[in-house]
Amino acid sequence: MQYVPFGNHGFDVSRLGFGCMRLPVRKEEEKEVIDRPAAIKLIREGIDGGITYVDTAYGYHNGESEIVVGQALKDGYREKVKLTTKLPPWVLNEEKDMNRVLDEQLKKLDVPYVDFYILHALNKDSFAKLQSFHYQDFIHQALKDGRIKHTGFSFHDDKETFVKILHDFEGWGLAQIQYNYLDDQMQATEEGLKLAGKMGIPIVIMEPLRGGALANPPANVAEKIAAYEKKRSAVEWAFAYVANYAEVATILSGMSNEEQLRDNLRIFDTLTVGGMTEKDQALVKSLKEAYLSRMPVKCTGCEYCIPCPQEVRIPKIFAAYNDSKKFDRPASFIRSYAKFIENGHDAAQCVQCGHCESVCPQQLPIMDWLQKIDQEYHSQK
């Protein structure tokens, strides 16, 4: 396992972090629950293998993840790791709820404190809500009374919002962002990642494999990987890309079984900051281009086309369609589009008014694409 300093906090952290959102599960009375013995064993094996960072959250596994993580960290394992959980803005109704939720989480984890308590999945709206609840006063108090050692935030919005949040609080202990070689210009972006690094805020990476999508590439991507002189799996290249950044402290992986854990431990034995050559970086760039070449609709997601008078979710429909083609997952589009239909936001609602096309910077034939996508859905279904 490779280790790096966790910013200026005075301790090192494993490059591989254990994300506890995808623990092993089983069926119990028609409900999916965590397979607790398997999950505890898996987390402990990860720690025995060198992992020193464990990440959970209030809502993971319907609230069960924190309980199981707390059980896994008994018998001396708590002392071996930095433990992170998250404050969910969506469950807060008033300012005092922040203290109530934190105390509930500490009880579920059965610990007196967490090393990192981060504001979960921030976007413009949720951050404004926390500002109205005076989140800084709450954080300072929790730091003072010892319930948390450091704070931070995880993020899902645009770069401008990311930069605003970075500058809103002087004590950020980390910033957790979705980042991989397909998404390096999305959400926080590479520019935001590097800005955080300049500010001394270590980066924690989530979704380095794009929810597992980068682990099983389509044929045109797999061929490039197989033909390259350096023999690495698709998973290794995805991890190597984010591990190359000096600003990145630890990279979360949501491991569900021993095979994934052991493969990740093997990979992270060798991944180092700056370990990718120029040829390696050119390969990964070509992998991204190969994925993007599979996208039929060249929509940039700028959202100039919305709101649609008929409430058609144009960019979201295009994104779902493109993703299904990009990752060769037709079933994912069927599921996504069925939800658009259920909510009355599908392409069949289009009345050909042309408003969307009149404002599209890319000058896309949006109405034709909507019709084609709707027809393709019904023909596949």
| Regions in the chain scoring below 70 on pLDDT | none
Q: 270-295, pLDDT tens digit by residue?
A: 999 999 999 999 999 999 999 999 99
How far is it, in rounded angstroms, from Cα 221 to Cα 122? 32
Per-residue model confidence (pLDDT) at position 29: 86
Per-residue model confidence (pLDDT) at position 30: 85
E strands, the chain, in order:
3-5, 12-14, 16-19, 25-28, 31-34, 53-55, 82-87, 114-122, 148-155, 172-178, 203-206, 248-253
Peptide bond into 5 cis (omega under 30): no
Q: 49-108, pLDDT tens digit by residue?
A: 999 999 999 999 999 999 999 999 999 999 999 999 999 999 999 999 999 999 999 999
Per-residue model confidence (pLDDT) at position 375: 96
Per-residue model confidence (pLDDT) at position 381: 73
Count of other CB atoms within 10 angstroms of residue 320: 19
Per-residue model confidence (pLDDT) at position 21: 97
Distances (CA, A) of 106 to 111, 171, 298: 5, 22, 46
Kindly report the backbone phi and psi dihedral angles of residue 78, in degrees, each rounded to the nearest multiple of 5, phi listed first.
Answer: -60, -40
How far is it, in rounded angstroms, from Cα 17 to Cα 3? 11
Per-residue model confidence (pLDDT) at position 268: 98
Per-residue model confidence (pLDDT) at position 285: 98
How far is it, in rounded angstroms, from Cα 241 to Cα 243? 6
Per-residue model confidence (pLDDT) at position 354: 96
